[in-house]
Amino acid sequence: MFVDSVDLIVKSGKGGAGCVSFWTEKFVIKGGPDGGDGGRGGAIFFEVDNNTDTLSTLRGKRVMSAEGGRPGEGRKCYGKKGKDLVITVPPGTQIVDAESGELLLDLVEDKTKVKFLDGGKGGLGNMHFKSSTNQRPTYAQPGLPGVNKSIKLEMKLIADVGLVGYPNVGKSTLISILSNAKPEVANYEFTTLTPKLGVVTINDYSSFMMADIPGIIEGASDGRGLGLEFLKHIERTKTLLIMVDISNYREMNYQYDTLKEELKRYSDELSTRPYAIAITKIDTMPKDEVDQKVEEFIESLGFKVNNELKKSGLNSEYKNYSFAKDFGVDLPEGEPRFILPISSVALLNSETLRFALGNFVNE
Ligand SMILES: Nc1nc2c(ncn2[C@@H]2O[C@H](COP(=O)(O)OP(=O)(O)OP(=O)(O)O)[C@@H](O)[C@H]2O)c(=O)[nH]1
Ligand SMILES: [Mg+2]
């Protein structure tokens, strides 16, 4: 199962107690105080590591504590500091206060290491309490307690492109031909139950991350299907590739409209995320029919097809419908970056899509 939320109690270490001790030596009758300080308790750190991709290693752990500091000793010896506890998490992990729900840390960048809880301070030994009125203090400070905190760790996927579409439209098939990911592909709905990341290589120097996400259906923002679980995952993708299936029993306009609607109902921010559209499975009908359907679809959305561009189409066999930005004009709000008919089985326009997405995410 894909673990994306874990409850934990973390405890930083208690400080070691200060020591009460007096100097003893042959011929020294009443030596002064020489009790050393206790060591500081271990702190709790979080560290982001790209090589972990789930929170599953933390699953089942209820409490994680750092070591306490050692008590001070005589002869002015300090107690040893408690060992820090470093908790490794994948990028995209948020640490939320379990009681208040407040967001405490948002860990995104690889290698980030943040101190979350300080260890308790060690107590001062009695050597600090000598004064003219009290030359033999029998008092030393206790160490301060560590801090306990109930937290919730939540992981959200980070990807450059998130694949958004109804179940069975070919999302997993697309990621399997463009990237190194090998997700399960099958001819039924909800094959994909957990998101998968894949690296799409453009050339030796450039690549981007694509996320295959479970299918979304109408009502997802109310929790239908995999619902909110799903929407939570795409929140962290930089761009969206909305995939509509030309051969599906659901009309293309219906698929597109509900997808946009669900995104919008989930959050305003998601609905304004830059996006492009892929029309999938165009191998299932003759080319003329594909062209006609695609053009009808585009016009029904109120986007203007530019005939010049339509023909040039990035040397693709099927037309690439590029929009205003290619002329250096600002993209009108809500307009897709491009609309590209594809087939992942017959490999139509799949390389065109690879490069078009590459340009898109690098903008
Ligand atoms: N003819 C044709 N079939 C395709 C194409 N892409 C995918 N399929 C088929 O469509 C079915 C569903 O493909 P998946 O890639 O599993 O679809 P999905 O969108 O990941 O589905 P869920 O994980 O259920 O949301 C499979 O039987 C695929 O072989 C395509 O370009 N052409
Ligand atoms: Mg799938």
Residue to mutate, 2, 164, 191, ligand 1, most ligand atoms under 8 Å from C-beta: 191
**How far does residue 167's CA lie from ligand 2's centre (Å)?**
7
More confident residue, 310 or 247: 247
Co-location of 194 and 268 in the same domain: yes
Question: Domain of 42: which CATH number?
Answer: 2.70.210.12
What SS3 state is found at 123?
Answer: coil
Q: Which two tokens stand for residue 184?
A: 């399960």
Instruction: Identify whether the C-beta of residue 323 lies closer than 8 Å to the C-beta of residue 336.
Output: yes
CB of 169 closer than 6 A to ligand 1? yes
For the chain, how many structural domains are there in total?
2
**How far does residue 281's CA lie from ligand 1's centre (Å)?**
8
Which range has the worst mean pLDDT, 133-137, 227-231, 235-239, 274-278?
A: 227-231
**Measured between alpha carbons, how far is 37 from 18 in angstroms, rounded to an integer?**
4
Co-location of 188 and 325 in the same domain: yes
25-33 LR contacts (CB < 8 Å, sep 24+): 30/136, 32/127, 32/130, 32/135, 32/136, 33/125, 33/126, 33/127, 33/129, 33/130, 33/136, 33/137
pLDDT tens-digit map of 56-103:
788 888 999 999 999 999 999 999 999 999 999 988 889 999 999 999
CB of 181 closer than 6 A to ligand 1? no
Residue 17 in this model has a pLDDT that exceeds 90 = yes
Q: Which ligand is nearest to the CA of 285?
A: 1
Co-location of 255 and 212 in the same domain: yes
**How far does residue 85's CA lie from ligand 1's centre (Å)?**
45
**Measured between alpha carbons, how far is 305 from 319 in angstroms, rounded to an integer?**
11
Nearest to 42 by CA among 75, 6, 7, 66: 66
Task: Tell me the angle at which helices 287-300 and 252-266 cross, rounded to the nearest 10 degrees.
Answer: 40
Closest C-alpha to ligand 1, atom 25: 167
Co-location of 17 and 133 in the same domain: yes
Co-location of 125 and 243 in the same domain: no
What pTM, to 2 d.p., does this model score?
0.65
CB of 283 closer than 6 A to ligand 1? yes
Domain ranges, residue 339: 159-362
Burial annotation 81-113 (CB, 10 A radius, 16+ → b, else e): bbebbbbbbbbbbbbbeeeeeeeebebeeeeee
Which range has the worst mean pLDDT, 2-6, 196-200, 269-273?
A: 2-6
**Which pLDDT value is given to residue 327?**
36
Q: Which two tokens stand for residue 136?
A: 């033999």
Of all residues in the chain, the percent with pLDDT exceeding 90 is 45
**Which pLDDT value is given to residue 73?**
96
Closest C-alpha to ligand 1, atom 7: 170
| Domain end call among 155, 186, 205 | 155
**Which pLDDT value is given to residue 255?**
95
**How do 85-89 and 44-48 pair as beta strands?**
parallel
pLDDT tens-digit map of 158-212:
789 999 999 899 999 999 999 988 888 878 777 777 778 888 998 888 889 898 8
Residue to mutate, 166, 168, 213, 249, ligand 1, most ligand atoms under 8 Å from C-beta: 168
**What number is the average pLDDT over the span 326-345?**
69
**Which pLDDT value is given to residue 354?**
92
**How far does residue 219's CA lie from ligand 2's centre (Å)?**
19
Q: Which ligand is nearest to the CA of 174?
A: 1
